Chains A and B, each alone.
Chain A
Amino acid sequence: MTFRAKHLLGIEPLHPTEITTLLDLADSYADHNRRGIAHRDVLAGLTQINMFFENSTRTLASFELAGMRLGADVMNMGMQASSIKKGETLIDTALTLNAMRPDLLVVRHPHSGAVDLLAQKVNCAVLNAGDGKHEHPTQALLDALTIRRAKGRLHRLSIAICGDIAHSRVARSNIMLLGKMENRIRLIAPPTLMPSGMGEFGVEVFENMEEGLKDVDVVMMLRLQKERMDGGFIPSEREYFHRYGLDAVKLRHAKPDAIVMHPGPMNRGVEIDGTIADDINRSVIQEQVEMGVAVRMAAMDLLAQNLRAGRKAVMA
């Protein structure tokens, strides 16, 4: 057993061997999913609650499907319309839900650190489905699995992460994960979308996209988070696309076999040219979505094993 974590709150606390264990399991789930092999016994009898304090379509659907494929009883709670509006604090909401005795709690929250806070108050396993600008661990894991399957390895690769890094939890989790697995990371963004102090994370920072893409194996594009733009980070979408949008010309600076990734949803013509996104020889964007389900199945499987082992230990 090399996956010891009780919760999946972020990539930061994970050990490289835990990441590998999880990816190995996810890899086999991905194959089984393709072949239609069901595993409805894995989470049978367990309750999974998806608690989203922020809008989501794909991540919520992915977690829901992952839970169903493993036989969990899955319940979705859209929290924007719920008690939070009635003034209940996050901790009270957590305690209320905890009293319903869920086994797996999947949480997305607009504030950094909110999922950590919630995890301190409940007895079940908590999975972070994105907290503010902090972490989005399952996204980084599904990206890692996609890279591993496309490139045959997850180490000593040169990987560019481009775009709105400042507002991106996906970027933070990916920097953590890819760094732990000993890859070379290059961040590309206009300085207004680059968080301060990134140079101290052991990554290379570029303001020029052509330079940043030079000879990379993987190009990871980020969504321009328009809904988070509370004031002039970039002059216009068209200038952004001109300087930082991924098109065929810029992609030529990467290795000829470089793959293109995007966590979705895409803004075509803003951060990525539509033809690149649809190029089946370069783009692995659909594969990322597929791996998302497998990674979430693996994560919940491992956390449920630890949860059951913990409960047995208490009873013994």
Chain B
Amino acid sequence: MTATFFANARLIDPVALTDAPGAILIADGVIKEVFEGHPSAPKNANVVDCGGFCLAPGIIDIGVKVSEPGERHKESFRSAGRAAAAGGVTTIVTRPDTTPAIDTPETLEFVERRAQQDAPVHVLPMAALTKGREGREMTEIGFLQDAGAVAFTDCDRVVTNTKVYSRALTYARSLDALVIGHVQEPGLSEGAAVTSGKFASLRGLPGVSPMAERMGLDRDISLIEMTGVRYHVDQITTARALPALERAKRNGLRITAGVGIHHLTLNELDVADYRTFFKLKPPLRSEEDRVAVVQAVAEGLIDIICSMHTPQDEESKRLPYEEAASGAVGLETLLPAALRLYHADMIDLPRLFRAMSLNPAHLLGLAAGRLLPDAPADLILFDPDAPFQLDRATLLSKSKNTPFDGARMQGKVLGTWVDGQRIWEKS
């Protein structure tokens, strides 16, 4: 197989945390060699001139909702895969909150087959932790793991029965299975549409105290300590939860945490006049919370940034705010939105890719997510400065529910490679 040489690149290395000129040689789907500066291309290699633009490990997005099975009109593996490729996401880790939930090896195999047929990117499925995500009985964690489930989660549903939850966590620990939890005190957050505070009061919308997230986290930290499970928090979005997370990590618990890109780049005031595309779960937070969480990502306390890609059709959003569905699509806007933090000097590019590529790979035990020899050649080439105004009609996702419609953004993916194969090229 012929080698490909990426010349004249600006290498974003999330391991060494460097951002410097360099080149990469790939062959047989893996990275062969990484060079500093401007070396000349080896003979017989195809040359990709990166033109001085950024070359980084492809994004690994944990928590993507592909609406198969059940709601293929909202998103299919084909559309999600194309959206991922266009957005620089080379691995999507899918959520099991489909209809029906992915809670049996049979459903999981269906998903894997569909992904194999239709998606140009790597697809790693997660499975439900409890049957039907109902919080009553654990799923066949062992069989599901054998069938390829990389993590177990009930997504945005909290397992309220702590006895059921502790048994599931204990069982998962015996298989060294990764559990992903949603931290939220369910009684306090019931019926809430926004975060409580001045804005919620002004709009007359039911709010939830940001403290509900800390309460959920505190409970789960106790359970991690009790069971020894390997645990990842899907989203930490409030300042008040950060000290608890920091303590748990310092105490040596096997806990990591993520955050959705929308909570890093938007705040509660963006909801404005009941704009339902900004209705998320958990709801958008105050600006103080947003800044604290960005800081936590920069410092590495929060490990992972994800898109929390949640397709919703027009009908489920064209409703009064309280009745409208939650969630936003994010595969194609994850990178340009994350680059807002870079352009605002809040976080540098290597640390962004540590949170979007390297840390997710670590968590899932993947060799990807880094620019090192023998790592898979999952690469993206992007121009971090290219300005554009987002028109949601141009999104490749079947659902167009993005809060960034009409927003001025910077950052375009110029090319995406999966296992050394080019799957996306900017037209």
List chain A positions with a Cβ less than 8 A from chain B.
Answer: 12, 89-91, 109, 111-114, 116-117, 131-135, 169, 172, 195-198, 200-201
Given A112-B274, A197-B198, A134:B203 Cβ within 8 A: yes
For A198, the chain B residues whose CB sits under 8 A away are 198, 201
CA distance A171 to B78 in the complex (A): 51
Partner of A109, one of B197, B209, B320: B320
Kindly state the separation between the CA atoms of A109 and B322 in the bound complex, as whole angstroms. Answer: 12
Nearest CB of A to B184, in Å: 18
- B321 in contact with A200 (CB, 8 Å): no
Pairwise interchain contact A113-B203, C-beta atoms closer than 8 A = yes
User: B35 → chain A, closest Cβ, in Å?
Assistant: 56
Q: Which residue of A lies closest to B206 (CB)?
A: A133
A-B contact count, CB below 8 Å?
A: 73
Given A113-B322, A195-B200, 15 additional A-B pairs, CB 8 A: A12-B202, A91-B318, A109-B320, A112-B205, A113-B203, A113-B273, A113-B320, A117-B318, A133-B206, A196-B198, A196-B200, A196-B207, A197-B197, A200-B198, A201-B198
Closest to A136 in B: B204
Whole-angstrom distance between the alpha carbons of A113 and B276 in the complex? 10
What residues of chain A lie closer than 8 Å to B200, measured between beta carbons?
Answer: 195-197
Q: Which residues of A contact B319 (CB under 8 A)?
A: 89-91, 117
A172 vs B202: C-alpha distance in the bound complex, in angstroms? Answer: 7
B225 within 8 A of partner (CB): no
Residues of B within 8 A of A169 (CB): 204
Cβ–Cβ contact A134 & B204, under 8 A? yes
Q: Which single member of B196, B209, B320 contacts A90 (CB below 8 Å)?
A: B320
Contact B204 A112 (CB under 8 A): yes
Q: Which chain B residue shows the least CB distance to A112?
A: B204
A116–B205 Cα distance when bound, in Å, is 14
What would 14 A/B residue contacts be, using CB atoms closer than 8 Å?
A90-B320, A112-B204, A113-B204, A113-B273, A113-B320, A116-B273, A132-B320, A134-B204, A195-B200, A196-B200, A198-B198, A201-B198, A201-B201, A201-B202
Residue numbers in B under 8 Å from A131 (CB-CB): 204
A113 touching B321, Cβ below 8 Å: yes
Given the known A-B contacts A90-B319, A111-B321, A114-B320, are A197 and B205 also in contact in the complex, defined by CB atoms under 8 Å? no
Tell me the B residues contacting A by CB distance below 8 Å.
Answer: 196-207, 209, 273-274, 315, 318-323
CB distance from B239 to the nearest CB of A (A): 16
Contact of A132 with B204 in the complex, beta carbons under 8 Å: yes
Given the interface contacts A196-B196, A197-B198, does A111 sit within 8 Å of B320 by beta carbon? yes
B204/A135 in contact, CB under 8 A: yes
CA of A197 to CA of B203 in the docked complex: distance in angstroms? 12
A190 to chain B, nearest CB (A): 16
A169 to B203, CA, bound (A): 10
- In the complex, what's the smallest C-beta–C-beta distance from B95 to chain A, in angstroms? 27
Of chain B, the residue at the smallest CB distance from A199 is: B198
Partner of A117, one of B198, B206, B320: B320
Specify the chain B residue showing the minimal Cβ separation from A197.
B198
* Chain B residues touching A, majority SS: loop
Closest partner residue, chain A, to B209 (CB atom): A196
The answer for the CA separation of A198 and B197 in the assembled complex, in Å, is 8
Contacts of A134 in B (CB 8 A): 203-205
Complexed CA–CA distance, A195 and B274 (Å): 18
A-B pairs, top 10 by smallest CB distance, nearest first, are: A197-B198, A133-B204, A113-B274, A134-B204, A111-B320, A195-B201, A112-B204, A114-B320, A197-B197, A200-B198
How distant is B286 from chain A, measured CB to nearest CB, in Å? 10
Least Cβ distance of B290 to chain A in Å? 17
Docked pose: A190 CA to B323 CA in angstroms: 29
Least CB distance, A78 to chain B, in whole angstroms: 19
**Which among B197, B201, B205 is the interface contact of A113 at CB below 8 angstroms?**
B205
Q: Which residue of A lies closest to B201 (CB)?
A: A195
Q: Please, which residues of chain B bring their CB within 8 A of the CB of A135?
A: 204
Residues from chain B with a CB closer than 8 A to the CB of A200 are: 198
Query: Shortest CB–CB separation between residue A43 and chain B, in angstroms?
Result: 28
Q: Chain A contacts of B198 at CB under 8 A?
A: 196-198, 200-201
Q: How far is it, in angstroms, between the C-alpha of A196 and the C-alpha of B203 when the chains are bound?
A: 12
Q: Which residues of B contact A117 (CB under 8 A)?
A: 274, 318-320
Q: How long is the Cα–Cα vector from A12 to B201 in the complex, in angstroms?
A: 13
CA distance A152 to B218 in the complex (A): 57
Q: What B residues does A172 contact at CB under 8 A? A: 201-202, 204
A12 proximity list for chain B (CB < 8 A): 202
Q: Tell me whether A133 and B205 are in contact (CB under 8 A).
A: yes
The distance in angstroms between the C-alpha atoms of A132 and B321, with both chains bound, is: 11
How far, in angstroms, from A228 to B196 measured CA to CA in the complex?
A: 18
Q: Which of B203, B315, B323 has the largest number of chain A CB atoms within 10 A?
A: B203
> In this complex, what residue of B is CB-closest to A230?
B191
A132 pairs with B201, CB closer than 8 A: no
Asked if residues B315 and A89 are in contact (CB atoms below 8 Å), the reply is yes
A192–chain B nearest beta-carbon distance, Å: 13
Q: Among A90, A109, A172, A195, which residue has the most Cβ atoms of chain B within 10 A?
A: A195
CA distance A116 to B319 in the complex (A): 11
A201 to B201 alpha-carbon distance, docked (Å): 10
B240 to chain A, nearest CB (A): 14
Residues of A within 8 A of B206 (CB): 133
In the bound assembly, the distance between CA atoms of A198 and B274 in angstroms comes to 20
Nearest chain-A residue to B274 (Cβ)? A113
Q: Is the CB of B205 within 8 A of A89?
A: no
Expressed in whole angstroms, the minimum distance between the Cβ of A101 and any Cβ of chain B is 23
Contact A112/B207 with A117-B274, A197-B200 known, Cβ cut-off 8 Å: no
The complex places the Cα of A217 from the Cα of B334 at a distance, in Å, of: 55
Partner of B203, one of A90, A112, A201: A112
Nearest-neighbour CB distance to chain B for A91, whole angstroms, equals 5
User: Smallest CB-CB separation from A9: which chain B residue?
Assistant: B273
Q: How far is the CA of A116 from the CA of B206 in the complex (A)?
A: 17
Which residues in B have their C-beta under 8 angstroms from that of A113? 203-205, 273-274, 320-322
Chain B residues with CB under 8 A of A196:
196-198, 200-201, 207, 209
Across-interface contacts of B320 in A (CB, < 8 A): 90, 109, 111-114, 117, 132
Which residues of B sit under 8 angstroms from A90, Cβ to Cβ?
Answer: 319-320
* C-alpha spacing A114/B321, complex, angstroms: 8
Tell me the bound Cα distance from A159 to B260 in angstroms: 44
Which residues of chain A have C-beta atoms less than 8 A from B204's C-beta? 112-113, 131-135, 169, 172
User: What is the CA–CA distance of A84 and B241 in the complex, to the nearest angstrom?
Assistant: 41
Residue of B nearest to A196 (CB): B196
Give the residue name and chain of the A residue nearest to B205 (CB).
A112
